[in-house]
């Protein structure tokens, strides 16, 4: 028997209590939004307006609305977005984010192929202004960015809603169950939910999502391909900084505390691997200068990508430009993926596997448990607990580069064996919006 969502009177009460909480927090939103000075041409200026549902008048309506939280989700959804552009060339696509880094990546990937915007704060009036302006034929949300008021308004206006690459880890399930009175009815309003993996599928059912809504589409992040643009960036970087014949350790998407730990480990590794080069790619642009100062304070010969100081034999290069990470994997021998030695859940290690690079991560990996598990089982990824174990893991790989290369190959095979989620997801979207 097929079940469909039925609105209950108390769902209205919970949703409006949620809205009142947002209203109470609105002064904090306002302070945060307007704390940075922005001119009318900057992304910050557009973000400030669009977070209140004020969209440009030249935005084309009657298209698809796709929401990706930040850079990771924008990258993961690339295949789906390009597939929709190809199959529906006459339908405008509006891609929204909530972060500046996500918006910048969307601009880099698609240019004028899509309309770029920021998603409004999840308050009924702001959502109403956005939906009235865009009049979307369908709402597509990536991973687990579920906003109760937005989903409800789309439900009321009979706009198809699809949650793609949907993630529901055991940790997320525990948190969602605490607010099940709000999120269970919200999730039941989706026309389709494409689960990343079997565990996510089962956790959605455990939360109360109807089985007929769910599809096991697998993880979009496995559908990675090397781009010509990234190859060009890698070749230019290698030529500029002379890294072709050097052994390169990459610190990818690092957070505060991780750079210092990596630099300490790197200093010990340099005692026996003199030609080793460390490339640091901080996760957030506002930390570029901070990390460069830290590197200099610890006494390393260093430069930044923007400075292009190649007159000396650099120990460390800080990548202080966005959109360079995939290219850095291309020139690396081995890597550490950040957000994992600190409690941030770890970033996606598949880009390293795409370029056959062996991987180390810390113990915090709850953002991508299935990916980390698959790579660990394939012996392409080492989980380390602290600086000492990180040193031991990297030192072992550096002492046997043939084994390091073999581990990189195993990681690439994991990608090959799990590809195909994009086509499954596109088929489900087409069926839902038909």
- Mean pLDDT score, 197-225: 94
When mean pLDDT is compared across 29-38, 97-106, 156-165, 167-176, the lowest value belongs to 29-38
Residue found under tokens 């973000």: 47
In whole angstroms, give the CA distance from residue 164 to residue 200. 12
pLDDT for the residue numbered 313 = 81
**Confidence at 55, pLDDT banded by 50, 70, 90:** very high
pLDDT for the residue numbered 329 = 98
Decide if 9-223+420-433 and 228-418 have a common fold. Answer: yes
DSSP letter, residue 174: H
pLDDT for the residue numbered 245 = 87
CATH number of the domain located at residue range(s) 9-223+420-433 in this protein: 3.40.50.11720
pLDDT for the residue numbered 37 = 58
Cα distances (Å, whole numbers) of residue 351 to 98, 186, 253, 423, 426: 23, 33, 11, 20, 22
In whole angstroms, give the CA distance from residue 180 to residue 172. 12
Q: Which residues contact 135 (CB under 8 A, 6 or more apart)?
A: 61, 62
pLDDT for the residue numbered 1 = 39
pLDDT for the residue numbered 5 = 66
Q: What class does CATH assign to 228-418?
A: alpha beta
In whole angstroms, give the CA distance from residue 77 to residue 221. 8
Domain definitions of the chain by residue range: 9-223+420-433, 228-418
The predicted-structure confidence for 374-406, as pLDDT tens digits, reads as follows 999 999 999 999 999 999 999 999 999 999 999
pLDDT for the residue numbered 321 = 93
Tally of residues, the chain: 434
- Which residue of the set 44, 73, 416, 430 is catalytic? 73
The predicted-structure confidence for 326-374, as pLDDT tens digits, reads as follows 999 999 999 999 999 999 999 999 999 999 999 999 999 998 888 999 9
Cα distances (Å, whole numbers) of residue 185 to 122, 153, 190, 288: 16, 13, 9, 42
342 or 36: which carries more pLDDT confidence? 342
The predicted-structure confidence for 239-291, as pLDDT tens digits, reads as follows 999 898 899 999 999 999 999 999 999 999 999 999 999 999 999 999 999 99
Using CA atoms of 144, 150, 154, 157 in order, give the dihedral in degrees to the nearest 10.
170
Q: Parallel, antiparallel, or unpaired: how do β-strands 192-195 and 334-337 relate?
A: unpaired
Q: Does the structure show a pLDDT above 80 at 29? A: no
Residue found under tokens 């990508």: 305
**Confidence at 194, pLDDT banded by 50, 70, 90:** very high
Q: Which residues contact 59 (CB under 8 A, 6 or more apart)?
A: 92, 94, 115, 117, 133, 134
User: Active site includes 73?
Assistant: yes
């Amino acid at each position: 028997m097929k079940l469909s969502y039925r609105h209950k009177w108390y769902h209205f009460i919970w949703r409006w209590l949620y809205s009142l909480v947002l209203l109470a927090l609105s002064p904090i939103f306002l302070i945060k939004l307007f704390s940075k000075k922005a001119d009318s041409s900057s992304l910050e200026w557009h973000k400030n307006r669009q977070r209140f549902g004020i969209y440009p008048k030249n935005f084309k309506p009657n298209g698809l609305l796709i929401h990706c939280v930040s850079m990771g989700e924008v990258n993961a959804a690339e295949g789906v977005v390009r597939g929709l552009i190809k199959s529906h060339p006459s339908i405008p696509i509006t891609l929204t984010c909530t972060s500046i880094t996500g918006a910048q990546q969307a601009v880099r990937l698609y240019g004028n192929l899509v309309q770029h915007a920021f998603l409004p704060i999840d308050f009924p009036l702001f959502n109403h202004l956005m939906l009235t302006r865009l009049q979307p034929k369908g709402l597509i949300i990536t991973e687990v960015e579920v906003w109760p008021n937005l989903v409800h308004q789309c439900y009321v206006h009979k706009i198809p809603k699809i949650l793609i690459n949907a993630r529901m880890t055991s940790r997320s399930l525990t948190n969602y169950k605490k607010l099940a009175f709000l999120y269970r009815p919200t999730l039941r309003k989706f026309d389709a939910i494409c689960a990343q993996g079997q565990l996510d599928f089962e956790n959605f059912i455990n939360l109360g999502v109807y089985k007929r809504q769910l599809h096991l589409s697998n993880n979009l992040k496995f559908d990675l391909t090397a781009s010509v643009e990234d190859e060009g960036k890698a070749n230019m970087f290698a030529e500029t900084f002379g890294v072709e014949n050097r052994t390169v350790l990459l610190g990818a998407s690092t957070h505060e505390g991780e750079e210092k730990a990596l630099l300490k480990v790197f200093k010990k590794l340099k005692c026996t691997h003199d030609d080793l080069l460390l490339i640091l790619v901080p996760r957030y642009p506002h930390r570029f200068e901070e990390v460069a100062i830290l590197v200099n304070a610890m006494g390393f010969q260093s430069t930044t990508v923007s400075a292009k100081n190649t007159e000396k034999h650099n120990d460390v290069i800080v990548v202080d430009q966005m959109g360079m990470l995939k290219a850095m994997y291309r020139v690396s021998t081995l890597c550490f993926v950040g957000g994992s030695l600190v409690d941030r859940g770890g970033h996606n290690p598949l880009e390293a596997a795409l370029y056959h690079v062996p991987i180390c991560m810390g113990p915090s990996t709850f953002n991508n448990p299935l990916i980390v598990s698959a790579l660990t089982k394939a012996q392409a990824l080492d989980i380390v607990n602290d600086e000492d174990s990180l040193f031991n893991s990297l030192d072992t790989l550096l002492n046997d580069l043939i084994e390091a290369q073999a581990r990189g190959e195993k990681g690439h095979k994991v990608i090959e064996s799990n590809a195909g989620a994009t086509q499954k997801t596109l088929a489900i979207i087409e069926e839902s919006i038909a």
